[in-house]
Amino acid sequence: MTQPTWDLSALVNAADPSAGLAERHLWLVRLLEWLRHAPAARRARPGADVAPQMARLGLLLKAAEGQPEFRARLQGMLAGFWREVDKAALFAEFGFGARHSLFGEVGRRLRVQWLPQTPDTPDLAELFQLLFRPSDARWIERLDDATLERIATLVDPDGASGWRTAMLDAITILVSAVHSSGYLSPLRRRMDRQALATEPFRQLTRSADALREALAEGRQADALREANVLRGLLDACRRAAASVTGHLEEYGVSVDIVYELDQMRRRTRRIGMLLDCVLAPQPMPALRALVLHLLRVADDERGLRRLLARHYSLLARQVAERSAETGSHYITRDRGEWREMLRMAAGGGAVIAGTTYLKFAIAALGLAAFWSGFWSGVNYAASFVVIMLLHWTVATKQPAMTAPAMAETLAAGTGDAEVEAFVDRVAQLIRSQAAGIIGNLAVCGPLALAIQLAWEGLFGVPLVGEQQAGYVLHSLTLLGPTLLFAAFTGVLLFASSLIAGWAENWFVYHRLDSAIAWNPRFVARLGAPRAQRWAAWWRANISGLVANVSLGMMLGLVPALASFFALPLEVRHVTLSTGQLAAAAGALGLDVLRQPAFWWCAAGILLTGVLNLTVSFWLAFKVALRSRGIQVRERQRITAAIRRRLLQDPLSFVRPPKG
C-alpha cells in the first residue's frame, strides 16, 4: 500500500457508519495505515522505535474520549464492523488449512500471495491480513493493560460478551476439527493403542460442551474444572499424535500425514490460548498474547519456504533413515570388512568393464539422442542391478547411502561422545570409499584393456577404434568441463538415493509386502511359502533396485533430455570413465602414454572420483542433518572435531584398524 497522505481529521470526516461493508472495512484499513505510519528513516530499520505508533494511538484514544462527535463516528464504524464480521473465523480458522492436504494449503497460500484481497467480506480471518502487518507486533506488545481496556471499550462497548461468545464458538469449531483428525484412518492406525485407551478424541466434544454450558450459567468453579478436563484431553490428543512417528517404520509416511499432524498440534495449542482468554479474570494479557500469536501466524502465512521445510522435515528424516539402513552396509569398521569391501568393489569393477563396451556399441549405432540416452540408461541400470544382485558394489553409490547412516550417529544428541563417535564414522567412511574406488578401478581398467587387446588379437580389428579413442581423450580431459560434469553426476547419485528412500517409503505406506504375501491371487499362483519369500525379498531389495535403476536411467537420459533445451550436460562417472580410458589406450597403443592428453584424462578421472563422492555425500549429509534438526552451530562443532582428528591421527582416515 502506498504511503498515506491523510491525517486524523480527514479520517474522522471520512467515517460514515451508514456506508456499505466494503467502504467501512476500507476505512479501517486506512485508519491502521495512519496508525502505523512513521517517518521512512524509522521504518527502514527492523528494530525501529515504536514511539510514533504509540503516540498516534494515544492521540486517537484521546480524541475519541474528548470529542463526542468523533467518538460517535468511530464507535459507529467499529460497532458495525464488530457486529457484522465473523469473529469466530479469525480465532478458529486463521492459519489452518480447510483441506487435509499439504498441496491444498500450498495452493491457498499462492492465491493469497499472488491475487489481490478484497475488504468486501465479513470473514475476519480474511480481513486480518488486510488490516494488520507482521511488524505491528512491535508496538502491540508494548501496549499496557489500561490502554488495551480503552481500545476494547471502543471496539466492543458491551464489554467482553462479544469476543467471549466468538471465542467459545471458535473452541467448538477447533474441537470438532481435532476430533475429526483423530479419527482419520491414516492417523488412527498409526497411533499407539495405549495412547488411545482413554479415548481422548471422543471425549473432546462433550468436555467443550460442558465448559460452554457452565460459562453460560455463570458456574465459574464448574467452568474451571471443565477447562482443566479439556486441557488434559488435549494433552492426551497431542501424545497420541506424537505416537504416530513411532509407527512410521511399519506404516510409512506421507506429506499429508505430516501436514495433518502439524495442523492438529497447532489447533490444540490455539484452543489452550482461547481458554486462557475466556477464563482469565483479567483477560487483557491473554488477549495481547493471542493477537501477537495471530500476527506471527500472519507472517508465516505469507511464505511457502517455512511451510514446506516444516512439513517435509519428517518425510526427509524417514527417507534418510531408510537410506541409513542400506548405507550402514557400506561402512567398513575393521580390516576384515575393509578387505571384503575390496572384493565387492573388484566384482563391481569387472561388470562395469563390460558396461563400458556396451556403451561404445550403443554409441556406434548412431541412434537419435533420446534413444541413445535411453538404451545407455538401460545398459547402466542393468549393470548396476547385476552388481547389486551379486552383492558387489560401485564405489560412487556409497556416499549418498552412507551419509544418512552417519547422521544417525547423532540421533542421541551432539555431545562430545556423540561427536567423537561421528568422527569415527567419518574415518570409516573415507577408508570405505578408498577401498571401493581402489577395487573398482584396479579391476575395471585392466580388464577393459585386456578385452580390447584380446579382441584385436583374435579378430585383427580393435573393439574400439582410433576415432572413438580420440573422442574419449578429448571428452575426459581435465582441460575441458570434466569437473562440472563430475559434480553434476554427484547430484544424480544423490538424487537416486532420495528416489530410493521415497520408493521404499511408498512401498511400506501402501503395504505392498503384505499384499504380495497374502493377496489371494498371489497365494494361489505362487503358493503361500513362495509368496512369503517374494514379499520378504521385495521388502529387503526395493530400495536397492530403485536406486540402481533410477541412477542408471538418469545417467543415460538426463544428458539426452538436457540437449533438447540446448544444455550441454554430460555425465562423468569415475569407474565408467576409467573403463573408457583403458579401452582408448588399448586402441591407440603404448604410444598414448607419451601423450599429454592421456595424463590430463588420468588427472580428470582422479578429480572426477573426488567430486562424484564429495558432492553426493555433501548433499545427502545435509538432508540427513536437517531432517534431525542439527543447527549451524552444532555443524561447526562437528567440523572442528574432524579437523582435530586429521591433525592428531591422519592415518586413521586411510589405514584400517587391526581390531
Q: How far apart are CA 348 and CA 299, in angstroms?
A: 53
Give the model's pLDDT for residue 44: 39
- Residue 7 in this model has a pLDDT that exceeds 60: yes
Q: Are residues 450 and 547 in the same domain?
A: yes
Provide the 10 A C-beta neighbour count for residue 62: 11
- Residue 241 in this model has a pLDDT that exceeds 80: yes
Give the model's pLDDT for residue 2: 43
Backbone phi, then psi, for 86, in 5-degree steps? -90, 95
Give the model's pLDDT for residue 79: 81
Burial of 78 (0-12, 13-18, 19+ CB in 10 A): buried
Give the model's pLDDT for residue 631: 65
Q: How confident is the model at residue 5 (pLDDT cuts 50, 70, 90)?
A: very low
* Residue 503 near residue 543, CB atoms below 8 Å: yes
Q: Are residues 400 and 544 in the same domain?
A: yes
The string of pLDDT tens digits covering residues 219-236 is 999 999 999 999 999 999
Q: Which of 303, 337, 366 is the last residue of a domain?
A: 303
In a domain, 469, yes or no: yes
Q: How confident is the model at residue 136 (pLDDT cuts 50, 70, 90)?
A: confident
Give the model's pLDDT for residue 626: 65
Q: How confident is the model at residue 173 (pLDDT cuts 50, 70, 90)?
A: very high
Instruction: Check: pTM over 0.75? Answer yes or no.
Output: no
67-76, 404-413, 635-644: the lowest-pLDDT one: 404-413
Give the model's pLDDT for residue 622: 73
Domain that holds residue 294: 87-135+159-303
In a domain, 313, yes or no: no
- Residue 84 in this model has a pLDDT that exceeds 80: yes
Q: How far apart are CA 268 and CA 291, in angstroms?
A: 17
Identify the residue with better confidence: 594 or 419: 594
Give the model's pLDDT for residue 412: 56
* Residue 306 near residue 300, CB atoms below 8 Å: yes
Give the model's pLDDT for residue 182: 92
Q: Are residues 49 and 35 in the same domain?
A: yes
Give the model's pLDDT for residue 303: 63
613, amino acid identity:
L
How large is the average pLDDT for residues 454-470?
A: 89
Give the model's pLDDT for residue 277: 92
Q: How far apart are CA 555 and CA 553, in angstroms?
A: 5
Q: How confident is the model at residue 499 (pLDDT cuts 50, 70, 90)?
A: confident
34-48, 425-439, 443-457, 620-634: the lowest-pLDDT one: 34-48
Q: Are residues 221 and 350 in the same domain?
A: no
Domain harbouring 602, CATH code: 1.20.1080.10
Q: Which of 59, 84, 109 is the last residue of a domain?
A: 84
Task: Give the residues across from 464 on adjacent strands.
Answer: none
Q: How far apart are CA 212 and CA 171, in angstroms?
A: 9
In a domain, 659, yes or no: no
Q: Are residues 245 and 355 in the same domain?
A: no
Q: Are residues 443 and 564 in the same domain?
A: yes
Identify the residue with better confidence: 338 or 6: 338
**Rg of the chain taking only CA atoms, in angstroms:** 33
148-152, 382-386, 535-539: the lowest-pLDDT one: 148-152
Identify the residue with better confidence: 402 or 262: 262
How large is the average pLDDT for residues 41-69?
A: 72
Q: Are residues 556 and 413 in the same domain?
A: yes
Q: Are residues 331 and 225 in the same domain?
A: no
- Residue 112 in this model has a pLDDT that exceeds 60: yes
Give the model's pLDDT for residue 360: 94
In a domain, 150, yes or no: no
Give the model's pLDDT for residue 321: 53
How large is the average pLDDT for residues 627-653?
A: 77
Buried b (16+ CB within 10 A) or exposed e, 510-522: eebbeebbeeeeb
Q: How far is CA 652 from CA 406, 431, 643, 656, 657, in A?
A: 17, 8, 13, 7, 8
Q: Are residues 538 and 649 in the same domain?
A: yes
Give the model's pLDDT for residue 627: 59
Q: What is the tally of structural domains in the chain?
A: 3
Give the model's pLDDT for residue 326: 52
57-66, 195-204, 366-375: the lowest-pLDDT one: 57-66
Give the model's pLDDT for residue 43: 43
Q: Are residues 568 and 609 in the same domain?
A: yes
The rounded Cα 511 to chain-centroid distance in angstroms is: 23
3 state SS of 123: strand
In a domain, 374, yes or no: yes
Output the 3-class SS for 437-452: HHHHHHHHHHHHHHHH
How large is the average pLDDT for residues 346-360?
A: 95
Identify the residue with better confidence: 448 or 53: 448
* Residue 547 near residue 496, CB atoms below 8 Å: yes
Q: How does DSSP assign 29-47, residue by residue? A: HHHHHHHH---HHHHTSTT
In a domain, 252, yes or no: yes
Q: Are residues 66 and 203 in the same domain?
A: no
Q: How confident is the model at residue 620 (pLDDT cuts 50, 70, 90)?
A: confident
How large is the average pLDDT for residues 631-657?
A: 78
- Residue 440 in this model has a pLDDT that exceeds 80: yes
Burial of 591 (0-12, 13-18, 19+ CB in 10 A): exposed
In a domain, 174, yes or no: yes
Q: What percent of the chain has pLDDT over 70?
A: 85
81-85, 275-279, 340-344, 623-627: the lowest-pLDDT one: 623-627
337, amino acid identity:
E
Give the model's pLDDT for residue 319: 56
* Residue 546 near residue 499, CB atoms below 8 Å: yes
Q: How confident is the model at residue 45 (pLDDT cuts 50, 70, 90)?
A: very low
* Residue 338 near residue 432, CB atoms below 8 Å: yes
The rounded Cα 367 to chain-centroid distance in angstroms is: 40
Q: What is the mean pLDDT of the chain?
A: 83
- Residue 559 in this model has a pLDDT that exceeds 90: yes
- Residue 430 in this model has a pLDDT that exceeds 80: no
Q: Are residues 582 and 602 in the same domain?
A: yes
In a domain, 62, yes or no: yes
